[in-house]
Structures are given as structure tokens and as C-alpha cells.
Amino acid sequence: MRNMRIMFTFPRKKYETLNTIRIYQDRILHNFRKTQEWSQGKQIGVVVKSNGYGHGIVEIAKIVDHLDIAYIFADSTYEALRLKDADIQTPILILGFTRQENLEAKKYPFSFMAHSKASFQTLYKTQPHTPIHLFFNTGMNREGFDLHELEWITNFIQKNNIQNIEGIASHFAEADYMMPTQLTHSQVENFETIKKHFSQNNIPLKYAYMDASNSLVFGMETSGNLVRAGRVLYGTGKDHVKYEQLKPALELVSRIVQVRNIKKGESVGYASSFIAPQNMKIALIPIGYQEGLERRLSNKGVMLVKDKPCPIVGNVSMNYSSIDISNVDVQLDDEVIVYSKERSDPNSLAATAKLCGTIEHEILTRLNHTVRRIVV
């Protein structure tokens, strides 16, 4: 009896969450088709790092897995292993650094980016059969090999007869500018120098790429043959005729869990940062900065209830926020659109980022991974 296991069977029932992130597959696919159109025959790699820019790394990977893409770009072995566990079939390239101890522990079925002599040497020793891409610093002065290290790189490749160098890459420092800058031109020239060096040393490259979303949209394409598609896939970006053709693919929704009448002069929330100017009706929303709602929206942002903008009143707290519903007829459990997928709405990602003095990517990547993502 002591070793007997007692099994309990619970009825299976769908669990309804208070907060949900909806990912619109048709919008992702629309944006992908636009990316193909603008890429002019170049191959496409889809960037899913940072939890798919907040959209959900596995959810996005499953949407694009059947498409004609060269790579899915992850940032770390952790992200790559999550994709592998989800049975993603597209080749996965890890853009970021991997600790030597992890590379020594096992052989991985991924491609890796080398950014330095140390990382290149470690990858050569520990992952001898994996495709390697070499990342170069052409002027951004962040990660990557410097141009003066080209001779060391080619000597190391030739001395060790390394056959698995698949590509070279770099990144624009001023890609946010809609017109190419002097630094952008300089970076393109440096990248061409790198390509020429590999050609002169008879080291074949399958891929050479600098292009990412903004360079593709703003017309700064290089002579490379691969595009890293990030924000173009998710439909985020600056005011531009091409970005306006894309469709934001994410919507954050919550529910009304309590309604309260307050009198003129009463306060709402922590620090009494909001004082009611007249008698009001407010609704409690079970979402706060822990879930990813920007605290900078306190007393500034809005949410949509039945298509009507309802101002956020009081400070956004850890798991709650309040909105003014004085002019809306609501019931408990009514849906609230926290971040809208429509660019024209006052709580769109673009409008929210502007209100917070930041960029859409910061808003998106702060969405907690514990908030359920569903693909619709």
C-alpha cells in the first residue's frame, strides 16, 4: 500500500485567461509576401529572437516554417532549443554569443554566428560540422570582427582546411534614417571589401548579408543575397509609404473585472496620482506592468472598450490598471483592447510608443512570456 500511486482524473476544460495576446496569421503572411516583393529575389531569413519580438517565438516560427525561407534567426541556444522542441524544420541560425561551456557540452543541430577570434576558434573545435557565419563590424562598433582581422581569419580557415564557412554578415548602424548616411555608405564599402577578400582567397560563401527591415524599406540594399526580416514581418516601423503597406499583427486584450463609482475629489490607485474632476465610473483591468503594460501610460494612455477610447486613470500597478468608463455602457467580463492592431487607433503600438517616448520594439518585447499567445 505504501508504494501505491493514487491517480486523480480531472475533467478537461478549456482555461480562459484574463489577458490574451492575439497573433493574426493572415497579417504575418501578408507582411511576408511584401517582404518577398521588396527583396527582389534575395533569400529571406525570419528573425524570431526576443520571443518573436514579443509575438511568441514558437507561434511565429510555426507560421513561417512552411514558407520558402533560408533561416530562422534566434539569439541564443535557449531560443534555438525551444524551436527544436517545437519540431521546427527550417534551419536555425543563432545570432548571439554562446558560452564555451555550452558548446563543449554537446553537438548542436544549428548554425552559429562567430563574432570574434575566441568564438570562431571555439566553434571550430566544438562544432566542427555546423555551418558557421562570420559577423563583421563595418562601422557600428558593437559586436563583430574588425576589418584588420581579415588576414587572421583567412589564414585560420586555410591552415585548418575549414570547409563549413557558410556566410558573412554585418549590420547597419544608422538603418533608422530614411536616407543613406555617410556612415551607411562607408559600411557598404567596408562590406564589399570583406566580400572581395574572401573571393580573392578562394573561400566560397553561400550567403553575404547586411540587409534588414529598414534597409530593405528605405532602399539601402547591398549586393548581398539574404535579408534578415524582423520588423517588416511584424508590421511595425516608421512612417513610410512601404511600412504603411504592412499590417501590425499583434493585439493585446484583457477583461473588465470590477466596476466602481467614485466621487469628485476622490483618488485612484497608488500615490493618488489621479484625482477625479467630477463623479466618475471606472473599471478595473487585470493587467499591469508585470504583464507588459507600460507604466509610462499612467494617466496618459487609453484602452478601447466597444470601440470607444477609455483613458487610463491613476498609476499602472503591477497587475492592475484602471480606466474611465463614464461614457461607455459596460458589463463585467467585457473585452478591453489594451494594445490595438490598427494603426489608426489611439492605443496602437506606434501611438503607444510615441506616447512613452520609445520604440515599438521595447513595448513588444516587454510583453511577459506568461501572457497566453494565440494565433488566429
> How far, in Å, CA of 335 to CA of 307, rounded?
10
Domain extent listing, the chain = 25-236, 250-265+274-340+342-375
Longest Cα–Cα distance of the chain, Å, equals 80
pLDDT at 364 (0 to 100): 97
The answer to whether residues 167 and 227 touch, using CB atoms and an 8 Å cutoff, is no
- Closest C-alpha to 257, from 15, 17, 14: 17
Q: Would you write out the chain's pLDDT as a tens digit for each of its 376 residues?
A: 445 455 555 555 678 899 999 999 999 999 999 999 999 889 999 999 999 999 999 999 999 999 999 999 999 999 999 999 999 999 999 999 999 999 999 999 999 999 999 999 999 999 999 999 999 999 999 999 999 999 999 999 999 999 999 999 999 998 887 788 899 999 999 999 999 999 999 999 999 999 998 888 887 767 799 999 999 999 997 777 888 899 999 999 999 999 999 999 999 999 999 999 999 999 999 999 999 999 999 999 999 999 999 999 999 999 999 999 999 999 999 999 999 999 999 999 999 999 999 999 999 999 999 999 999 9
pLDDT at 6 (0 to 100): 53
For domain 25-236, the CATH architecture is Alpha-Beta Barrel (3.20)
In this prediction the pTM is: 0.93
The answer to whether residues 68 and 96 touch, using CB atoms and an 8 Å cutoff, is no
The answer to whether residues 343 and 27 touch, using CB atoms and an 8 Å cutoff, is no
Compute φ and ψ for 47, nearest 5 degrees.
-90, 120
Could you please state the CATH topology (level 3) that the domain comprising 250-265+274-340+342-375 is classified under.
Answer: Lyase, Ornithine Decarboxylase; Chain A, domain 1 (2.40.37)
